[in-house]
Chains A and B, each alone.
Chain A
């Protein structure tokens, strides 16, 4: 099995304990409007072109490196060759600014282990390891990978998931994962369908399994988006959720607008949700802490 990844980020210190390597897997089961990794939403390779960095734009240079039978690099975004982008790879490799390229590269487990092993000493020393993020990493059946990874390297394995994934993928992998970072998003059935295009029942089925089996190893996170997750009703549902599952620790953070370039370079529209003000986050923290026994920590992004 190979996985389609968009980025393997070494020296991550925000995705779990210690120094980590984060693997971003392409493909997601829901579609959060505020998503900050739009390149990971679709499960097939995509061409990107960041006009803002292209020399034609920045320096007004008639750079020819990416052109063969096309007159303008923007045309590449229209290519619909979903599974046969390899022929363009060589062309894009020549781009001096890396403003054109392909999101999504297949990687085998052995390749991944080789990359992880470069930093193995640092993982062991800091309690770090590898984090699978995305997209929705559990959209894939990772069990064989994780089992072998655990056996060969014994690194700490962390998964960042929103748990809108096939139940069997979770149940098969559950024992090989050391830490689950779970994003809680929209908690009403209709809204989840409407906003996330996801089935909340799937989420609940997964979360119940996880709570039953691995409660200690879950870290809940809550992205705060004004008008969406931060809506009054959703916050009340969040508090119910916290009480129901006896959540003792929650990390909250504001969405950010760092992904704008990525949206544009994929030829998609970008909607700015605006950063949530610090006071609002503080207010939310106080509200949750007053009504529940859960401790809330505000993350700075």
Chain B
């Protein structure tokens, strides 16, 4: 039976010879099995899903944004519609629709950006179409204009189908049916329409395979509608709360299918609050409502990023800390007082910087007008270090010589990585083009206002700890020459267990607020920055670099042991966070606030774990601690609020904790859904932090 099924599947997947579809289908099946890559399970799920699948075909030889837009139209015609009777809004991304036309060129999907929901609400899709029409003189001939028209028609078709569907199935939902006469083609007229309009567009983005799309500053975008309704008396505060709750619940749908590499990694980020150009805080009723509702719903997704600054009202802090205490892994805090000047200095328009949001994790960009792919490359600092260790080092006498060699290895590595970035080709994405104000050409060809590229980094902590250890060992003669390290590293410390313990316990560590550690960390980062500073991306943008990456587990798997005491294949350190030593929050915050964020900001997140019981007792102390951190120059902060014993128990008895949520890299996830290695890493880190500062 099994072999028959297998043959059948292989036939289905490959008879069309359409790799893209096959890949997507395979990914979907993995997601169905909740990312546990068990072949039999995948096969079983595959068989189960076959009847859900719809194919969209196209017979055309060239492939560009025009073909992509035609495919979009087809998808809109075919996407599955469904709705439960208890739902208020229509929201149904169809993850099981496969496009059987995409040449097997290696194209990178554009994601990790925030689309312009503000435009959708204020102008409607028709308004956006008019904008482009005005811009393009000879519009009948223009290919891009045609593609945009296709997209608009597609959305209209989809909307009409939804309207017909709801009318037929739920004729009693008058408000919903009425609103579908208006949005998303025409501007939203009230709070309800605004929410539904966002949901329809969001639904279409997922259906068309655009991953990790952020939701933007929803408290700001929605507030005018909310306020107008309140003034007109057409909505009560309770009703607004109810609608917003339904909206969040809708967005939570399809968590597994939306996830990118791990369940929970959806990029559905809602950015709240923030200051305007007069330094006035922009928090409003909806900010508070969002914070309250997230606390009430206790969902890992969507997640909250809170923009804070010196004038953030205490009510917002209070609500945010209470939300944090729930242990959902959010809100992530991003410091406007650092980020906004930094973005201005980098080259974003001053007006735009006050509107900044973050990509799926932390990397700042301007919503609705950016192509900024903030994670095109992962720099792994450990790689040049290992390369250096494996060279002949017999002539290297002092540590400073060794460090100079490391820097030159690092430079070479960065240059090589830049070459790889230049090879990347992006998939045409006319829908995103429409939603990011591209007026002449597709977003994948550099049609957006901002076309910068961002580089992530991983392993800074490991390398800093390694270098500090090497320096110390050499000075205290624990090693006689740098050549000895080769053997220690390749033997995974087995011949020198004392040194392994020493590596972890002794000396200064990444996170200590000593000048030596801060300077070393900054020098390494500046080495990278100095190379990328004046480089121009293929679309004429600039390069950004930051302190964080999602690949700490994956990147570690292929690496040998490192002199910081990390063993072979073990995960690398997480963002700005110590991996060794007994470092208090104060030291870490002092250290972190002295890192160079002025130029290096593409993800600048300090990551800590707080024991839940301690936070409960000392919530006000921690609030002040965070506030002071940001005053001192901290950029971003994320916290896992956990209980170590509970985590240990949850590994043993996962069924006891179905709703236990943890923060992974820039997202929150159900603990039970995570692969074993991630669970163990979190437990290990929680143990390290259990007695933090006590």
| Residues of chain A having any CB pair with chain B under 8 Å | 10-13, 18-19, 55, 59, 61, 63, 65, 93-94, 96-98, 118-119, 121-122, 125-126
Contact = CB atoms under 8 A, between A and B. Distances in A.
Given A55-B501, A122-B586, A126-B625, 20 more contacts: A11-B585, A12-B693, A13-B618, A13-B621, A18-B621, A19-B586, A19-B621, A19-B625, A55-B497, A61-B497, A65-B502, A96-B501, A96-B502, A96-B506, A98-B505, A118-B513, A118-B586, A119-B586, A122-B628, A126-B628
A94 B586 contact: no
A121 B498 contact: no
B497 A59 contact: yes
B632 interface: yes
Contacts of B513: 118
B478 interface: yes
B88 interface: no
B621 A121 contact: no
A97 B505 contact: yes
Contacts of B624: 18-19, 122, 125-126
A55 to B, nearest CB: 6
A173 B469 CA distance: 44
A10 B584 CA distance: 7
B568 interface: no
B41 interface: no
Nearest to A90: B476
A96 B586 contact: no
Contacts of A118: 513, 586-587, 590
From B498, B505, B625, name the one whose CB has the most chain A CB atoms within 10 angstroms: B498
B289 to A, nearest CB: 29
Nearest to B502: A96
A301 to B, nearest CB: 10
A12 B586 CA distance: 10
Interface in B577-627: 584-587, 590, 618, 621, 624-625, 627
Interface residues of B, number: 24
B628 A121 contact: yes
Contacts of A12: 693
B337 to A, nearest CB: 14
Contacts of B478: 94
A96 B499 contact: yes
From B502, B585, B631, name the one whose CB has the most chain A CB atoms within 10 angstroms: B502
A6 B657 CA distance: 43
Contact of B625 (A10, A94, A96, A122): A122
A61 B478 CA distance: 17
Nearest to B692: A11
Contacts of A13: 618, 621, 693
A65 B590 CA distance: 33
B494 to A, nearest CB: 12
Given A59-B497, A61-B497, A125-B627, A96 B584 contact: no
Given A19-B624, A19-B625, A11 B505 contact: no
Nearest to B582: A98
Contact of B587 (A10, A59, A94): A10
A97 B505 CA distance: 6
Contacts of A63: 498
A298 B653 CA distance: 34
Contacts of A122: 586, 624-625, 628
A120 to B, nearest CB: 10
B516 to A, nearest CB: 14
From A11, A94, A118, name the one whose CB has the most chain B CB atoms within 10 angstroms: A11
A158 to B, nearest CB: 16
Contacts of A18: 621, 624
Contact of A126 (B498, B585, B621): B621
Contacts of A61: 497-498
Contacts of A96: 498-499, 501-502, 505-506
A98 to B, nearest CB: 6
Interface in B624-661: 624-625, 627-628, 631-632
25 contacts: A11-B693, A12-B693, A13-B621, A13-B693, A19-B624, A55-B497, A59-B501, A61-B498, A65-B502, A94-B478, A96-B499, A96-B502, A96-B506, A97-B501, A97-B505, A118-B586, A118-B587, A121-B628, A121-B631, A121-B632, A122-B625, A122-B628, A125-B628, A126-B625, A126-B628
Contacts of B584: 10-11
Nearest to A122: B628
Contacts of B693: 10-13
Nearest to A19: B621
B309 to A, nearest CB: 16
Contacts of A19: 586, 621, 624-625
A2 to B, nearest CB: 22
Closest 9 CB pairs of A and B: A96-B502, A11-B693, A96-B501, A11-B584, A11-B586, A125-B628, A126-B624, A63-B498, A125-B624
A18 B622 CA distance: 10
B691 to A, nearest CB: 11
Contacts of A93: 476
Nearest to B632: A121
B506 A98 contact: yes
Nearest to B614: A13
A119 B590 contact: yes
Contacts of B631: 121, 125
A96 B498 CA distance: 6
A12 B618 CA distance: 11
B78 to A, nearest CB: 58
Contacts of A10: 584, 586-587, 693
Contacts of B502: 65, 96
Nearest to B618: A13
Contacts of B497: 55, 59, 61
Nearest to B588: A11
A79 B624 CA distance: 47
A258 to B, nearest CB: 10
Nearest to A126: B624
B596 to A, nearest CB: 19
A285 to B, nearest CB: 19
B506 to A, nearest CB: 6
Nearest to A121: B628
Contacts of B501: 55, 59, 96-97
A98 B498 CA distance: 12
Contacts of B498: 55, 61, 63, 65, 96
A229 B214 CA distance: 61
A19 B632 CA distance: 16
A124 B561 CA distance: 43
A12 B621 CA distance: 11
Contacts of B627: 125
B329 to A, nearest CB: 23
From A94, A97, A122, name the one whose CB has the most chain B CB atoms within 10 angstroms: A122
Nearest to B627: A125
A114 to B, nearest CB: 11
A94 B501 CA distance: 11
A121 B499 CA distance: 37
A11 B582 CA distance: 12
A42 to B, nearest CB: 25
Interface string B548-578: 0000000000000000000000000000000
Contacts of B625: 19, 122, 126
A122 B631 CA distance: 10
A253 to B, nearest CB: 14
A126 B624 CA distance: 6
